[in-house]
Structure 1
Amino acid sequence: MSTEKQLFTISVYTENNIGLLNRISAIFQRRHINIESLNISPSEIEGVAKFTIVVNMIEDNVKKIIGQIEKQVEVIKAYYHDLDEIIYQISGLFKIKSELLFEERQIQNIIKESNARIVTVNKEFFVLEKSGKKEEIIELYNELSPFGIMQYTRSGLIAISKDEMKISTLLETYNN
Protein backbone atom coordinates (compact mmCIF):
# COMPACT_ATOMS: atom_id res chain seq x y z
CA MET A 1 0.00 0.00 0.00
CA SER A 2 1.39 3.34 -1.07
CA THR A 3 2.08 6.09 1.44
CA GLU A 4 2.32 8.61 -1.40
CA LYS A 5 -0.52 10.99 -2.20
CA GLN A 6 -2.36 10.26 -5.43
CA LEU A 7 -5.70 10.99 -7.05
CA PHE A 8 -8.55 8.71 -6.02
CA THR A 9 -12.12 8.69 -7.25
CA ILE A 10 -14.70 7.95 -4.57
CA SER A 11 -18.10 6.71 -5.79
CA VAL A 12 -20.91 7.03 -3.26
CA TYR A 13 -24.30 5.44 -3.97
CA THR A 14 -26.98 7.07 -1.87
CA GLU A 15 -30.50 8.27 -1.41
CA ASN A 16 -30.46 11.86 -2.62
CA ASN A 17 -31.55 13.59 0.58
CA ILE A 18 -31.33 17.27 1.45
CA GLY A 19 -28.30 18.04 3.58
CA LEU A 20 -26.32 14.91 2.64
CA LEU A 21 -23.88 16.88 0.48
CA ASN A 22 -23.09 19.13 3.45
CA ARG A 23 -22.47 16.15 5.73
CA ILE A 24 -20.25 14.39 3.19
CA SER A 25 -18.23 17.54 2.48
CA ALA A 26 -17.86 18.06 6.25
CA ILE A 27 -16.11 14.66 6.48
CA PHE A 28 -13.42 16.00 4.13
CA GLN A 29 -13.34 19.44 5.72
CA ARG A 30 -12.70 18.06 9.23
CA ARG A 31 -9.62 16.28 7.88
CA HIS A 32 -8.45 19.33 5.88
CA ILE A 33 -8.81 17.42 2.60
CA ASN A 34 -9.47 19.46 -0.51
CA ILE A 35 -12.03 18.00 -2.92
CA GLU A 36 -10.53 18.27 -6.42
CA SER A 37 -13.87 17.72 -8.14
CA LEU A 38 -17.40 16.69 -7.27
CA ASN A 39 -20.26 15.47 -9.42
CA ILE A 40 -23.70 14.27 -8.34
CA SER A 41 -25.94 12.48 -10.80
CA PRO A 42 -28.57 9.76 -11.03
CA SER A 43 -27.12 6.23 -10.94
CA GLU A 44 -28.14 3.20 -12.98
CA ILE A 45 -30.82 2.42 -10.39
CA GLU A 46 -33.91 4.63 -10.19
CA GLY A 47 -34.08 6.76 -7.06
CA VAL A 48 -30.39 6.28 -6.21
CA ALA A 49 -27.87 9.09 -6.71
CA LYS A 50 -24.15 8.70 -7.35
CA PHE A 51 -21.60 11.12 -5.94
CA THR A 52 -18.25 11.10 -7.77
CA ILE A 53 -15.61 12.77 -5.61
CA VAL A 54 -11.97 13.21 -6.61
CA VAL A 55 -9.38 13.68 -3.87
CA ASN A 56 -5.59 13.73 -3.66
CA MET A 57 -4.48 11.71 -0.63
CA ILE A 58 -2.83 8.49 0.55
CA GLU A 59 -4.76 5.23 0.19
CA ASP A 60 -4.90 4.53 3.92
CA ASN A 61 -6.76 7.81 4.50
CA VAL A 62 -9.15 7.12 1.61
CA LYS A 63 -10.16 3.88 3.34
CA LYS A 64 -10.88 5.82 6.55
CA ILE A 65 -12.93 8.40 4.62
CA ILE A 66 -14.98 5.60 2.98
CA GLY A 67 -15.75 4.25 6.45
CA GLN A 68 -16.94 7.67 7.61
CA ILE A 69 -19.06 8.20 4.49
CA GLU A 70 -20.73 4.79 4.86
CA LYS A 71 -21.83 5.73 8.41
CA GLN A 72 -24.22 8.30 6.89
CA VAL A 73 -27.75 6.85 7.08
CA GLU A 74 -28.63 7.55 3.43
CA VAL A 75 -25.43 6.05 2.02
CA ILE A 76 -25.94 2.62 0.50
CA LYS A 77 -22.32 1.89 -0.49
CA ALA A 78 -19.07 3.77 -1.17
CA TYR A 79 -16.08 2.64 -3.26
CA TYR A 80 -12.74 4.13 -4.19
CA HIS A 81 -10.56 3.66 -7.26
CA ASP A 82 -7.32 5.06 -8.57
CA LEU A 83 -7.37 6.60 -12.05
CA ASP A 84 -6.11 3.39 -13.72
CA GLU A 85 -9.20 1.51 -12.49
CA ILE A 86 -11.79 3.83 -14.05
CA ILE A 87 -12.91 5.23 -17.37
CA TYR A 88 -13.43 8.95 -16.95
CA GLN A 89 -14.16 12.19 -18.76
CA ILE A 90 -14.20 15.91 -18.03
CA SER A 91 -15.97 18.52 -20.17
CA GLY A 92 -14.92 22.07 -20.85
CA LEU A 93 -16.98 24.89 -22.38
CA PHE A 94 -15.31 27.84 -24.11
CA LYS A 95 -17.11 31.04 -25.18
CA ILE A 96 -15.23 32.95 -27.87
CA LYS A 97 -16.00 35.97 -30.10
CA SER A 98 -17.73 34.82 -33.30
CA GLU A 99 -15.59 36.99 -35.58
CA LEU A 100 -12.57 34.84 -34.65
CA LEU A 101 -14.27 31.73 -36.00
CA PHE A 102 -14.52 33.31 -39.44
CA GLU A 103 -11.41 35.50 -39.48
CA GLU A 104 -8.78 33.32 -37.77
CA ARG A 105 -7.93 30.22 -39.77
CA GLN A 106 -5.89 28.96 -36.80
CA ILE A 107 -9.04 28.78 -34.63
CA GLN A 108 -10.64 26.40 -37.13
CA ASN A 109 -7.48 24.26 -37.09
CA ILE A 110 -7.42 24.19 -33.28
CA ILE A 111 -11.07 23.08 -33.20
CA LYS A 112 -10.44 20.34 -35.75
CA GLU A 113 -7.20 19.05 -34.18
CA SER A 114 -8.60 19.02 -30.64
CA ASN A 115 -11.81 17.20 -31.63
CA ALA A 116 -13.80 19.94 -29.92
CA ARG A 117 -17.29 20.60 -31.21
CA ILE A 118 -19.16 23.81 -31.76
CA VAL A 119 -22.26 23.85 -29.56
CA THR A 120 -23.75 27.17 -30.70
CA VAL A 121 -22.91 30.15 -32.90
CA ASN A 122 -24.50 33.59 -32.99
CA LYS A 123 -23.37 37.08 -34.07
CA GLU A 124 -21.51 37.82 -30.84
CA PHE A 125 -19.96 34.51 -29.81
CA PHE A 126 -19.62 30.80 -30.38
CA VAL A 127 -19.31 28.06 -27.77
CA LEU A 128 -16.96 25.09 -28.01
CA GLU A 129 -17.31 21.88 -26.01
CA LYS A 130 -14.45 19.48 -25.44
CA SER A 131 -14.65 16.25 -23.47
CA GLY A 132 -11.63 14.21 -22.48
CA LYS A 133 -8.92 14.04 -19.88
CA LYS A 134 -8.17 17.13 -17.78
CA GLU A 135 -4.86 17.62 -19.63
CA GLU A 136 -6.70 17.78 -22.99
CA ILE A 137 -9.08 20.46 -21.73
CA ILE A 138 -6.19 22.50 -20.29
CA GLU A 139 -4.25 22.14 -23.56
CA LEU A 140 -7.22 23.47 -25.55
CA TYR A 141 -7.56 26.33 -23.06
CA ASN A 142 -3.89 27.21 -23.55
CA GLU A 143 -4.25 27.12 -27.35
CA LEU A 144 -7.35 29.36 -27.32
CA SER A 145 -6.14 31.83 -24.67
CA PRO A 146 -4.05 34.01 -27.03
CA PHE A 147 -7.22 34.70 -29.07
CA GLY A 148 -9.25 35.70 -26.01
CA ILE A 149 -11.72 33.49 -24.16
CA MET A 150 -14.86 35.35 -23.07
CA GLN A 151 -15.94 32.63 -20.62
CA TYR A 152 -14.64 29.22 -19.61
CA THR A 153 -15.83 26.46 -17.33
CA ARG A 154 -14.82 22.88 -16.68
CA SER A 155 -16.92 20.10 -15.20
CA GLY A 156 -16.00 17.73 -12.46
CA LEU A 157 -14.78 14.28 -13.37
CA ILE A 158 -17.42 11.68 -14.21
CA ALA A 159 -16.37 8.05 -14.07
CA ILE A 160 -17.36 4.42 -14.25
CA SER A 161 -15.21 1.57 -12.97
CA LYS A 162 -13.52 -0.89 -15.28
CA ASP A 163 -14.36 -3.72 -12.87
CA GLU A 164 -17.90 -4.80 -12.08
CA MET A 165 -18.78 -3.23 -8.73
CA LYS A 166 -21.77 -5.49 -7.96
CA ILE A 167 -23.63 -2.35 -6.89
CA SER A 168 -26.58 -3.12 -9.20
CA THR A 169 -27.32 -6.35 -7.33
CA LEU A 170 -27.03 -4.56 -4.01
CA LEU A 171 -29.28 -1.74 -5.21
CA GLU A 172 -31.92 -4.11 -6.58
CA THR A 173 -32.26 -5.71 -3.15
CA TYR A 174 -32.30 -2.23 -1.63
CA ASN A 175 -35.25 -1.16 -3.81
CA ASN A 176 -37.37 -4.25 -3.07
Structure 2
Amino acid sequence: MEQESKQFTISVYTENNIGLLNRISAIFQRRHINIESMNISVSEIEGVSRFTIVVIMTEEKVKKIIGQIEKQVEVIKAYYHTEEEIIYQESCIFKMKSDLLFDERQIQNIIKDSNARIVTVNKQFFVIEKSGRKEEIELLHRELSAFGIMQFTRSGRIAVSKEEMKISNMLKAINN
Protein backbone atom coordinates (compact mmCIF):
# COMPACT_ATOMS: atom_id res chain seq x y z
CA MET A 1 0.00 0.00 0.00
CA GLU A 2 1.46 3.34 -1.07
CA GLN A 3 1.80 6.08 1.54
CA GLU A 4 0.09 9.38 0.87
CA SER A 5 2.08 12.56 0.47
CA LYS A 6 1.57 15.20 3.12
CA GLN A 7 3.24 18.33 4.37
CA PHE A 8 6.23 17.96 6.70
CA THR A 9 8.32 20.59 8.45
CA ILE A 10 11.97 19.60 8.69
CA SER A 11 14.20 21.23 11.33
CA VAL A 12 17.94 20.94 10.75
CA TYR A 13 20.44 22.06 13.38
CA THR A 14 23.82 22.85 11.85
CA GLU A 15 27.13 24.58 12.21
CA ASN A 16 27.06 27.79 10.20
CA ASN A 17 29.26 26.90 7.22
CA ILE A 18 29.50 28.32 3.70
CA GLY A 19 28.12 25.98 1.03
CA LEU A 20 25.85 23.98 3.34
CA LEU A 21 22.69 25.58 1.92
CA ASN A 22 23.66 24.40 -1.57
CA ARG A 23 24.38 20.87 -0.38
CA ILE A 24 21.12 20.59 1.56
CA SER A 25 19.04 21.95 -1.32
CA ALA A 26 20.85 19.53 -3.69
CA ILE A 27 19.58 16.61 -1.59
CA PHE A 28 16.02 17.68 -2.45
CA GLN A 29 16.86 18.60 -6.06
CA ARG A 30 18.38 15.18 -6.82
CA ARG A 31 15.11 13.56 -5.75
CA HIS A 32 12.95 16.06 -7.66
CA ILE A 33 11.36 17.29 -4.44
CA ASN A 34 10.10 20.86 -4.42
CA ILE A 35 10.85 22.89 -1.29
CA GLU A 36 7.65 24.78 -0.37
CA SER A 37 9.51 27.18 1.93
CA MET A 38 12.85 27.48 3.67
CA ASN A 39 14.00 29.67 6.51
CA ILE A 40 17.48 29.77 8.02
CA SER A 41 18.20 31.53 11.30
CA VAL A 42 20.09 31.32 14.54
CA SER A 43 18.70 28.73 16.95
CA GLU A 44 18.25 28.55 20.71
CA ILE A 45 21.83 27.22 20.90
CA GLU A 46 24.69 29.69 20.53
CA GLY A 47 26.73 29.09 17.38
CA VAL A 48 24.13 26.72 15.90
CA SER A 49 21.92 27.58 12.93
CA ARG A 50 18.48 26.16 12.25
CA PHE A 51 17.03 25.41 8.84
CA THR A 52 13.22 25.14 8.74
CA ILE A 53 12.20 23.44 5.49
CA VAL A 54 8.63 22.70 4.37
CA VAL A 55 8.08 19.86 1.88
CA ILE A 56 5.24 17.68 0.62
CA MET A 57 6.15 13.98 0.39
CA THR A 58 5.52 10.59 1.96
CA GLU A 59 6.78 9.83 5.46
CA GLU A 60 8.97 7.07 4.03
CA LYS A 61 10.72 9.59 1.75
CA VAL A 62 11.08 12.22 4.48
CA LYS A 63 12.85 9.66 6.69
CA LYS A 64 15.32 8.96 3.85
CA ILE A 65 15.86 12.71 3.31
CA ILE A 66 16.60 13.17 7.04
CA GLY A 67 19.20 10.39 6.77
CA GLN A 68 20.85 12.11 3.79
CA ILE A 69 20.83 15.53 5.51
CA GLU A 70 22.41 14.08 8.66
CA LYS A 71 25.30 12.70 6.56
CA GLN A 72 26.46 16.29 5.95
CA VAL A 73 29.46 16.93 8.21
CA GLU A 74 28.13 20.23 9.62
CA VAL A 75 24.67 18.86 10.43
CA ILE A 76 24.23 18.20 14.13
CA LYS A 77 20.69 16.78 14.04
CA ALA A 78 17.61 16.82 11.80
CA TYR A 79 13.98 16.25 12.75
CA TYR A 80 10.71 16.11 10.84
CA HIS A 81 7.22 16.96 12.06
CA THR A 82 3.66 16.83 10.77
CA GLU A 83 1.39 19.89 10.89
CA GLU A 84 -0.22 18.65 14.12
CA GLU A 85 3.14 18.37 15.90
CA ILE A 86 4.23 21.99 15.48
CA ILE A 87 3.24 25.58 16.15
CA TYR A 88 4.14 27.76 13.20
CA GLN A 89 3.82 31.21 11.70
CA GLU A 90 4.66 32.96 8.46
CA SER A 91 4.99 36.70 7.92
CA CYS A 92 4.30 38.91 4.95
CA ILE A 93 4.32 42.55 3.96
CA PHE A 94 2.19 44.36 1.39
CA LYS A 95 2.98 47.72 -0.19
CA MET A 96 -0.15 49.58 -1.33
CA LYS A 97 -0.93 53.04 -2.75
CA SER A 98 -1.56 55.53 0.08
CA ASP A 99 -4.74 57.00 -1.38
CA LEU A 100 -6.42 53.59 -0.93
CA LEU A 101 -6.00 53.87 2.82
CA PHE A 102 -7.98 57.12 2.90
CA ASP A 103 -10.39 56.60 -0.02
CA GLU A 104 -11.34 52.94 0.50
CA ARG A 105 -12.97 52.41 3.89
CA GLN A 106 -13.03 48.68 3.15
CA ILE A 107 -9.20 48.52 3.22
CA GLN A 108 -9.15 49.65 6.84
CA ASN A 109 -11.75 47.00 7.72
CA ILE A 110 -9.75 44.28 5.93
CA ILE A 111 -6.61 45.27 7.86
CA LYS A 112 -8.48 45.30 11.18
CA ASP A 113 -10.39 42.05 10.56
CA SER A 114 -7.22 40.17 9.53
CA ASN A 115 -5.23 41.34 12.58
CA ALA A 116 -2.66 42.87 10.24
CA ARG A 117 -0.94 46.13 11.13
CA ILE A 118 0.22 49.19 9.25
CA VAL A 119 3.96 49.63 9.69
CA THR A 120 4.53 52.78 7.65
CA VAL A 121 2.56 55.40 5.76
CA ASN A 122 3.78 58.16 3.47
CA LYS A 123 2.29 60.18 0.57
CA GLN A 124 2.96 57.49 -2.05
CA PHE A 125 2.38 54.20 -0.23
CA PHE A 126 1.67 52.38 3.00
CA VAL A 127 2.97 49.02 4.19
CA ILE A 128 0.94 46.34 5.96
CA GLU A 129 2.51 43.50 7.96
CA LYS A 130 0.72 40.25 8.79
CA SER A 131 1.91 37.20 10.70
CA GLY A 132 -0.13 34.04 10.85
CA ARG A 133 -0.89 30.73 9.22
CA LYS A 134 -0.42 30.33 5.48
CA GLU A 135 -4.21 30.30 4.90
CA GLU A 136 -4.65 33.63 6.75
CA ILE A 137 -1.95 35.26 4.65
CA GLU A 138 -3.42 33.88 1.41
CA LEU A 139 -6.88 35.21 2.38
CA LEU A 140 -5.49 38.68 3.09
CA HIS A 141 -3.61 38.59 -0.24
CA ARG A 142 -6.83 37.72 -2.11
CA GLU A 143 -8.76 40.50 -0.36
CA LEU A 144 -6.10 43.16 -1.01
CA SER A 145 -5.51 42.03 -4.62
CA ALA A 146 -8.83 43.59 -5.61
CA PHE A 147 -7.36 47.02 -4.75
CA GLY A 148 -3.96 46.53 -6.44
CA ILE A 149 -0.87 45.45 -4.56
CA MET A 150 2.31 47.35 -5.48
CA GLN A 151 4.65 44.82 -3.85
CA PHE A 152 4.24 41.64 -1.80
CA THR A 153 6.65 39.28 -0.07
CA ARG A 154 6.18 36.39 2.30
CA SER A 155 8.67 34.73 4.63
CA GLY A 156 9.34 31.07 4.96
CA ARG A 157 7.74 29.18 7.81
CA ILE A 158 9.12 29.50 11.29
CA ALA A 159 8.11 26.71 13.64
CA VAL A 160 8.62 25.15 17.03
CA SER A 161 7.68 21.60 17.95
CA LYS A 162 5.03 20.94 20.55
CA GLU A 163 7.20 18.18 22.00
CA GLU A 164 10.69 18.90 23.32
CA MET A 165 13.51 18.31 20.86
CA LYS A 166 16.40 17.11 22.98
CA ILE A 167 19.03 18.90 20.89
CA SER A 168 20.23 21.21 23.72
CA ASN A 169 20.84 18.26 26.09
CA MET A 170 22.52 16.35 23.27
CA LEU A 171 24.92 19.25 22.59
CA LYS A 172 25.70 19.72 26.29
CA ALA A 173 26.66 16.02 26.47
CA ILE A 174 28.92 16.39 23.40
CA ASN A 175 30.60 19.55 24.78
CA ASN A 176 31.32 18.01 28.22
Shorter-chain TM-score bucket reads over 0.9
Q: How does 1:1-176 map to 2 (within 5 A)?
A: 3-176=3-176
Q: For structure 1, which runs of at least 5 residues remain unmatched after alignment? A: none
> What does the per-residue CA deviation read over 1:95-138, in whole Å, with 9 as the maximum and x for residues that have no partner?
00011111110000001000000111111100001111111001
The runs of at least 4 aligned residues of structure 1 exceeding 6 Å deviation read none
Deviation string, structure 1 residues 19-77 (Cα, Å, up to 9, x no partner): 00000001001100000000000000100000000000000000000000000000000
Q: Provide the C-alpha distance between the structure 1 equivalents of 2:2 and 2:98, rounded to a whole number of angstroms.
A: 49
Distance 1:97 1:118 in 2: 13
Q: Secondary structure of 1:45's match?
A: coil
Distance 1:173 1:17 in 2: 22
Identity of aligned residues (%): 77
**Unaligned 5+ runs, structure 2:** none
Distance 2:81 2:105 in 1: 42
Matches of 2:130 and 2:6, distance apart in 1: 25
What one-letter code is carried by the residue in structure 1 that aligns with 2:71? Answer: K
**CA root-mean-square deviation:** 1.2
- Give the CA deviation at 1:173: 3.1
What is the CA-CA distance between 1:157 and the residue it aligns to? 0.6
Q: Which amino acid aligns with 1:123?
A: K
CA separation in 2, counterparts of 1:52 and 1:120? 29
Instruction: Give the letter aligned to residue 141 of structure 2.
Output: Y
The residue type equivalent to 1:13 in the other structure is: Y
* Alpha carbons 1:2, 1:59 under 8 Å: kept: no
Counterpart of 2:69, as a letter, is I
- Report the count of equivalent residues: 176
Equivalent-residue separation in structure 1 for 2:174 and 2:20 (angstroms): 19
TM-score with structure 2 setting the length:
0.97
**C-alpha separation in 2, matches of 1:148 and 1:172:** 52
In 1: Cα distance, 2:2 partner to 2:101 partner: 48
Residues 72, 110 of structure 1: alpha-carbon distance in 2 compared, 3 angstrom cutoff: same
C-alpha separation in 1, matches of 2:4 and 2:51 = 24
Amino acid at match of 2:26: A
- For residues 147 and 127 of structure 2, what CA distance do their matches in structure 1 show? 14
Shift of 1:171: 2.3
Following superposition, the deviation at residue 151 of structure 1 comes to 0.2
